[in-house]
Chains A and B, each alone.
Chain A
Amino acid sequence: MGLPLLDCFLNSNGTALAQGAPLPVRFGAWMWGCGMNPDRWNPTTEGGGYELSVELQALDRELGTGAKLREQVSILSDFDVKLDGRPNFPHTAGLMGTLTGSLPVADYTVPAPTLDTIIAAEIGGLTRFRSLEMSCTGNPNQSYSFESQGVANAPEISPMAMYARVFGPEFADPNAGPFTPDPRLMIRQSVLSVVKDDRDRLLQRVGTHDKQRLEQYFTSVRQLEQQLDILLEGPPDLESCSKAPTPGQETLGTEVGESMSTNLLMADLLSFALACDQTRVFSMMFSDRISGLRQPGSSSQHHQLTHDEPLDPEIGYQPEATEFVFASMEAWADFVERLAATPEGDGTLLDNCLVLGHSDVSLAKVHGITGVPMMIAGSAGGALKPGVHVRGATSPTTRVGLTIQQAMGLNTESWGTRSMEATQPVSEIVA
């Protein structure tokens, strides 16, 4: 036992650290590819206590606290990505529209920063890691976290590697006895200061394109300096913080069981990382927008099935492809449930999170970008009302992004471009 946070440090509600420091609020995005079947996924009733649709049955779980998972998750249906005459680049337009508020002019290009990086720009500097990106696809090269086309945050694909990064020897364990700063950290800082000395000389030698890239490089150097500063300060002073246990056996790959298992291991590590305030921003790619999920022994992947599998005329949907919608919703429920399992203040970690679950399309078969499915889990430290179904009535998906930015404390009045510009938050979910 190290440093128990005495109750007197908390205010009477147990929701904030003494001296006015509230518990941190975190934002994350959780993405699955290839959408859903709108008629089977969208709930038929609106508001709180909405009726769970057949493809949302995964939310019908009881949490450790006795509450229902569905009460923690709002459903946002019938919000559209608007093309304004731009091409519907398959699987890209819907993804970028939702995450950046703008439409790409070329296939798989990034028109503007993604939501997570917008939020990290505001609050990422307060923590050891500006943000943490994860993926269950086994692909080390791709996440959906972009500052710009050339600045893509690469994901952790291996829970072991994620563990080593966050909870390796550098991690100051609050339960590991008295803290002594590692002198090596200060020496590493001196390395960075030498590098920074070259900044002005370098910037003079390059053109405007490269100036931007070098500025980004030096921003990253400063971020690491700050990381070292935070490590020198000692262990985080948070009641719920403890060092994560070493993750269990990992098998990376896109067989659906592999991705689901990676998702669980990552959610577990993440909940420890968040409870110790190692970061306040994260993103998870459960499956690629061109979903490569597959069943062992099958010759087809999820994405292929959404295009090639015949609609079963009896039931009106593609049965094999739809199995992956169910699996994705189970994985989403696993992820959220794990955050709700960590107690924090007088509630759970999830209460102080805002997790956007979303896909790149609605009906993948036709690359539908009307009614792009979105969900919000958690109440962002009280800023949001959870467990509500809101129909967007074809308003732009950016209204959700705008609501998120405001709930995270950003002074954003409007977000998105052209028909995607949103000025009205989704008031139904605002507390």
Chain B
Amino acid sequence: MRKTHLRTTHLSLILGLLLLAVTGCSSGADSSPTEKIDAGPVALRRLTAEQFSRSIRDVLGDHITVPSRIDPDDRRDGLLAVGATFASVTPSGFEKYEAAANVVTEQALDTKHRADLVQCQPASATTSDEECATAFIGRVGRRLFRRSLTGEELDARVAIASAAAKALGDFYGGLEIALASLLVSPDFLFRIEEAEPDRRDPSITRLTSVAMASRLSYLLWNTTPDDDLIAAGEHGDLVDDALLAEQVERLLSSPKLETGIRSIFSDLYDFKRFDDGLVRKDTALFPVYTQTLVEEAKEQTLRTIVAHLSADKDYRDLFTTTESFLTRRLGVAYRVPVPTPDGWEPYVFSDEARRAGLLSHISFNALYSHPGRSSATLRGKFVREVLLCQDIPTPPANVDFSIVEDITGELRTARERLEAHVTNDACAGCHTLTDPIGLALESFDAIGMLREEENGVPIDTSGDLDGTAYEDATGMGRALRDHPALGPCLVRSLYRYAAGRNEIGGELALLSSLSERFAESAYSVRELMRELVLSDGFRTTSGPRMAEEAGDES
């Protein structure tokens, strides 16, 4: 029922858009995509575990070890960034946040670091000092809440700091309490994106300048805004076209952009599963496998992406590039010599290594495999869904698997087993989409090591990607690189990541226009980010999300 309602809404938005197009309202086709669009709703965004940790360390000090045992992130529609606009805080989750806050405040204000952090000297270290406490809480609170504290918020925290300082006979003990109250507050744990009527055109609802500061910072740096950005937000600069553009240039040229890029691709590729220890392999079948190996494999891929995109190279070439980074441990798994004994070195794979493009990395092949065997289907599904944004339906519940039962033991390779699917109509619909891609990657086993044969039979990696034939994984990477859906799919994913939700009908024209511009910029991801954050899709909204939408996204 709800679904029908939503569809109707989409339809009317699309109709509205068509009307606009007919009446020629898209006036500013000059510098940035300024088509009038109907952007979707905003919702509270719970900090992801990574944002929680980064924000704390940014504000309170890099020496802090932030507990990783907090409420797990919610992944929806393939992104933690989308799940974050649905996640709440369970009782056990809050218990963990409070425990984490206590651990963090103790480290932040330990005797070694308190002077640097507090920046004022209390009259006495054994009792309260309201002036110093007020200065500290006000300054740190502003970074954590991403806005200045209200008088009430500040007073309440100075009061508990004073009471605790007196009770404990410790000024810094009092500050710990006030700091803990900031860290467990919903104003820290959730990013609140407030909107207001645009003064130039009150029919448009825009994000407030203060809300824009957080939105920009978490998208581009994946952490809390710095003092400059908060000041710009509070000064109203971020709802001014020119001043916004200035800040965006600053954010895009900061070294912190690398963190932002890393986080985007980690989320998109579901790399958190490496951190959660969920990429496990059978150690008897894969003696090379260790948790450290797969974590380094993840790091290798992220380093490759960051280096490539920071140099403003063509996004599509990520799927053909032989440039990467290796450690000696990874070198063993790749069977190539790595001279550097400890740490990372830049590495260019030779043709003989047969490692061109991200999809030839250990990370993907290990992630999209089972503990004991590779999976052409999982790998193919990943490429279709995540890289090309094509939907693969879930298998029917009553599917007859007896067709792929290998009673005689004659089906020895993945291709032979999977080709059995394709002879069955119920299976063929999906497996003809996923399997040819995955079979090209069958030369990589369940931990991504090269192999020539499976169960004594040579592996055939040839296939076809939507009309482009290839012989092996390298050829498949080239076909993927040239696939027309590759660029627009990244645009869609990045938009969802930025907005914290799936696109709605009123935003489709914007996505098309962003995709065109992405192509015109020779697929510069930095350019795409700039276009995106300056667009009305990022700056405006229909208002707060209504409760009916919750839980009805599929």
Contact = CB atoms under 8 A, between A and B. Distances in A.
Interface in A154-173: 154, 161, 165
Given A109-B554, A220-B94, A292 B186 contact: no
A190 B174 CA distance: 11
Nearest to A227: B95
Contact of B547 (A110, A152, A212): A212
Interface stretch (B256-264, B306-314, B398-406, B474-482): B398-406
B371 A310 contact: no
A220 B181 CA distance: 15
Contacts of B3: 105
Given A208-B547, A308-B404, 11 more contacts: A110-B551, A129-B92, A140-B276, A148-B551, A152-B90, A209-B546, A212-B550, A217-B88, A220-B90, A252-B277, A254-B371
Interface in B68-100: 69, 71-74, 86-95, 98
24 contacts: A93-B397, A106-B553, A109-B554, A133-B92, A138-B280, A149-B86, A151-B90, A153-B92, A190-B164, A192-B98, A198-B153, A198-B186, A206-B192, A209-B545, A220-B90, A220-B91, A220-B95, A224-B94, A296-B282, A297-B285, A298-B282, A310-B406, A367-B397, A367-B398
B449 interface: no
A317 to B, nearest CB: 13
Nearest to A367: B397
A221 B280 CA distance: 36
B185 interface: yes
Interface of B: 3, 41, 43-44, 69, 71-74, 86-95, 98, 102, 152-153, 156-157, 160, 163-164, 167-168, 177, 180-181, 184-187, 189-190, 192, 194, 276-278, 280, 282-285, 370-373, 394-395, 397-398, 401-402, 404-407, 543-547, 549-554
B74 A214 contact: no
B282 A299 contact: yes
Given A153-B92, A187-B164, A297-B285, A107 B554 contact: yes
A207 B41 contact: yes
B282 A151 contact: no
A299 B71 CA distance: 33
A307 interface: yes
A84 interface: no
B90 A154 contact: yes
Contact of B186 (A90, A106, A188, A195): A195
Interface string A305-328: 001111100000000000000000
Contacts of A206: 44, 192, 544
Interface of A: 87-90, 93, 105-107, 109-110, 124, 129-131, 133, 138-141, 147-154, 161, 165, 183, 187-188, 190-192, 194-195, 197-198, 202, 205-214, 216-217, 219-221, 223-224, 227, 252-254, 292, 294, 296-301, 304, 307-311, 365-367
Give 5 nearest A-B pairs by CB, closest first: A207-B544, A106-B554, A299-B372, A88-B397, A220-B94
B192 A205 contact: yes
Tell me which of A129, A138, A150, A307 has the highest count of chain B C-beta atoms within 10 A of its own C-beta: A150
Contact of A220 (B93, B168, B187): B93
Nearest to A221: B94
B545 A223 contact: no
A224 B190 CA distance: 19
Nearest to A366: B398
Contacts of B89: 216-217, 220
B88 A151 contact: yes
A219 B395 CA distance: 39
Given A154-B92, A161-B69, A90 B370 contact: no
A88 B91 contact: no
Contacts of B73: 141
Nearest to B98: A224
Nearest to A310: B405
Contacts of B372: 294, 298-301
Contacts of B71: 154
